Structure 1
Amino acid sequence: MRESRTVQRSLFDLYSPHKFGAFLGELSRVLDDHPEILPLLEEDFRAEGTQATGRKGLSVESTFRCMLLKQITGVSYEMLAFHLADSSSYRAFARLERDCRPGKSALSGNIRRLRPKTLQSVFQQLGNSAFEQGVMKTDCLRIDSTVVSSNIASPSDSKLLDDGIRVLSRLMAKSRDCTGIKLRLTDYRKRSKSLAARIFYGKKADKETLYPELTSLANRVLKQSDKAVEQVRRQGGEPTHLQSWIDQVVHYQALLERVVDQTKRRVLKGEKVPASQKIVSLFEPHTDIIIKGPREIEYGHKINLATDRNGLITALMIEKGNPTDVERFMPVVGAHQSLYGGVPETTIADGGYASVDNIEKGKALGIKRVGFHKKRGISLSAMGLKEKTLKKLRDFRAGVEGNISELKRAFGASKALWKGEDGFMSFVWASVISYNLTRLVRLNSG
């Protein structure tokens, strides 16, 4: 990793006359107006062992710009590497030196170093700048929520049990390569895969007999992995090179134990297991079960956000669990207030946020009009609105649906593709930053 900034020479500032080339040129100028975000990004690249890319490596600025390209275009790392090697517009925007042609692994490795906390700070810095310049219109805010899905398959207890058996068995099979210690074990992967498939496609009567067999198999693998960890510790001590393998085994053991427990409770005992106690993925265990009204179940994390008159996202919160909208109204208002030093004159939110308590707390902060799309038995006088004003605000609120749709459709926020909880949050913030920057370019272009 080189220095934070790449000094671009006009010789290489070659943008295509195509409208997307013009957009990239304008976006580059917007970023040049915000050099203050580079010191924020530098912190994530100061860790020892950062790899350079190509002959000279990617700068911090180039890494951030490559991240924006990926989110805006929605391409894979492989295709991004191709475009950066092939396109003068992409290379000019990314501020790549002539000999720098990053591959997909280098792009992925460097972009994934950007932490969610850092990207959130960049979002806040860009928002504050837009607010100070008068581009962000915060007199009236619209608030809504949506769900960003995790990158997982539709969960089932049989699939989760098979995943746990498969992963632990694979780790133990690789123990000789990872630790130098060969383990004597029975491989249950083929049997587990067969049982899981029979459960998935079988009738209810068949599942009742097959599930106990699969959970028994999982327990055998758990006991086997306990013995494997004991053997590795006994024969190899606990040098550093063994700890990574041990940590992985212990991690997946804990997850498989939770899956076995929820399977016994839900399937074998007929107990209703609360969503907060369920695990739906061994690879993305942070994933929440989200149920919004009568709609189908979603797996990921709920986000609450506010947008202004220009469609810019002023505040966003990535939630844990499945909190109701009504209890997240004030936290969103509070997040906006902490960022911009004040509250809007008017807020309009979906009916799910409606409550007299939220109106009273909002007005106590200084909001003059606290409106909701559906009244939910709340009078207009309590909201501080007239019927005609509420109708206009309802029309205004509808715009947030379009903002959310664009965020998900054009910037990838329908499903977070980066692994792990930090990866999930970084992906969401990357999408939001890309969305807001694109909005700023449109506003500058008129």
Structure 2
Amino acid sequence: MTHSKLLIGCRVPAACLAPLDAWVAHAERQIEQIRRRVLWGESIPHHEKVFSVFEPHTEWINKGKAGVPVELGLRVAIVEDQYRFILHHQVMENTTDDQVAIDLIEGTRARFPVLHSISMDKGFHSQANQAHLAEVVPMPALPKKGKCNQAEAAHQQQAEFIRLRHRHSAVESAINALEAHGLDRCPDHGVDGFKRYVALAVLGRNLHRLGAILLERDAEAEARRRQRAA
């Protein structure tokens, strides 16, 4: 029995190879960083690190909490009203709480011009943010990071400030609800997909909250009906 071999040459279009360029760049960057870190003993600056080759927008988030000190993803800031509806949100790309505070409030004011009070975590504190929020509402509840002077301590001990801080804890339930209903992990790809998924999650949370209010209202109406019938 004899065997014959046939060799056919073909040219792969450049357009088909173009998507590989990004992966080649990732590989070259990783090789270079390994060389710098292992062979040269260099510490790689944080801004040069890539935490996901599939989702390059992924950031290293220091949570500072026991059990979960670090997470990978993107921060999301939300604004909730007294009825526990989310009025505004912002995906934070390469920014911190204190850098986004004014944009977050102004974005809320663009939709809801009248704000009676504002309460924010101390992570949003800066002198500029304190001054800006004082122009928006009479009593901005924004605790200062670090040690307070006498005037700042007196400000934070006022009854209205304390009342607003106590109400602020309600926003934690919205954050937990978003995470519990799927926002702890995003199945969409790309930063645009992430933002779209967050927006849909916020919409779902508001619909869930609206449904809870309607069910509570129906339950109260039914209770009154039974009381009248009795």
Q: TM-score, normalised by structure 2?
A: 0.78
Out of 331, 339, 349, the position equivalent to 2:103 is 331
Out of 29, 33, 37, the position equivalent to 1:262 is 33
Provide the residue aligned with 2:90 in structure 1: 317
State the 1:181 CA deviation: 6.3
Out of 233, 241, 249, the position equivalent to 2:20 is 249
State the 1:343 CA deviation: 4.9
Provide the residue aligned with 1:133 in structure 2: none
- Bigger mean CA offset, 290-299 vs 353-362: 290-299
| Residue correspondence of structure 1 range 158-307 to structure 2 within 5 A | 235-236=11-12, 238=13, 243=15, 245-293=16-64, 296-307=69-80
Which structure 2 segments of 5+ residues have no match? 1-7, 218-230
Read off the aligned partner of 1:315 and give its amino acid letter: H
Provide the residue aligned with 2:175 in structure 1: 404
Instruction: Provide the secondary structure at the position in 2 that maps to 1:435.
Output: helix
Read off the aligned partner of 1:256 and give its amino acid letter: A
| Residue correspondence of structure 1 range 411-426 to structure 2 within 5 A | 411-426=181-196
Instruction: Provide the secondary structure at the position in 1 that maps to 2:90.
Output: strand
- Structure 1 residues 195-225: Cα deviation after superposition (integer angstroms, max 9, x where no partner): xxxxxxxxxxxxxxxxxxxxxxxxxxxxxxx
CA distance in 2, matches of 1:431, 1:393: 26
Provide the residue aligned with 2:127 in structure 1: 356
User: Which is bigger in relative contact order (C-alpha 8 A, separation at least 6)?
Assistant: 1
| Residue correspondence of structure 1 range 7-26 to structure 2 within 5 A | none
Read off the aligned partner of 2:200 and give its amino acid letter: A
8 Å CA contact 2:64, 2:70 repeated in 1: no
Read off the aligned partner of 1:426 and give its amino acid letter: R
CA distance in 2, matches of 1:276, 1:444: 48
Provide the residue aligned with 1:192 in structure 2: none
| Residue correspondence of structure 1 range 73-84 to structure 2 within 5 A | none
- Structure 1 residues 383-441: Cα deviation after superposition (integer angstroms, max 9, x where no partner): 6x6522222212111111111001101x2111111122222222212211111111122
CA distance in 2, matches of 1:354, 1:293: 17
Read off the aligned partner of 2:99 and give its amino acid letter: E
- Go from structure 1 to structure 2 and tell me whether the alpha carbon gap of 1:282 and 1:381 turns closer, same or farther (over 3 Å shift): closer
8 Å CA contact 1:276, 1:288 repeated in 2: no
Q: CA RMSD in A?
A: 2.5
Read off the aligned partner of 2:100 and give its amino acid letter: R
CA distance in 2, matches of 1:361, 1:381: 19
8 Å CA contact 1:326, 1:353 repeated in 2: yes
| Residue correspondence of structure 1 range 130-141 to structure 2 within 5 A | none
* Number of aligned residues: 205
CA distance in 2, matches of 1:259, 1:414: 28
CA distance in 2, matches of 1:346, 1:380: 18
8 Å CA contact 2:37, 2:43 repeated in 1: yes
8 Å CA contact 1:303, 1:319 repeated in 2: yes
Instruction: Provide the secondary structure at the position in 1 that maps to 2:110.
Output: helix
Provide the residue aligned with 2:210 in structure 1: 440
- Structure 1 residues 369-396: Cα deviation after superposition (integer angstroms, max 9, x where no partner): 111255642645896x652222221211
Read off the aligned partner of 1:432 and give its amino acid letter: V
- Identity rate, percent: 25
CA distance in 2, matches of 1:251, 1:392: 53
State the 1:275 CA deviation: 2.3
Out of 344, 347, 355, the position equivalent to 2:118 is 347
| Residue correspondence of structure 1 range 46-65 to structure 2 within 5 A | none
Read off the aligned partner of 1:430 and give its amino acid letter: L
CA distance in 2, matches of 1:264, 1:345: 56
CA distance in 2, matches of 1:308, 1:270: 51
- Go from structure 1 to structure 2 and tell me whether the alpha carbon gap of 1:441 and 1:181 turns closer, same or farther (over 3 Å shift): farther
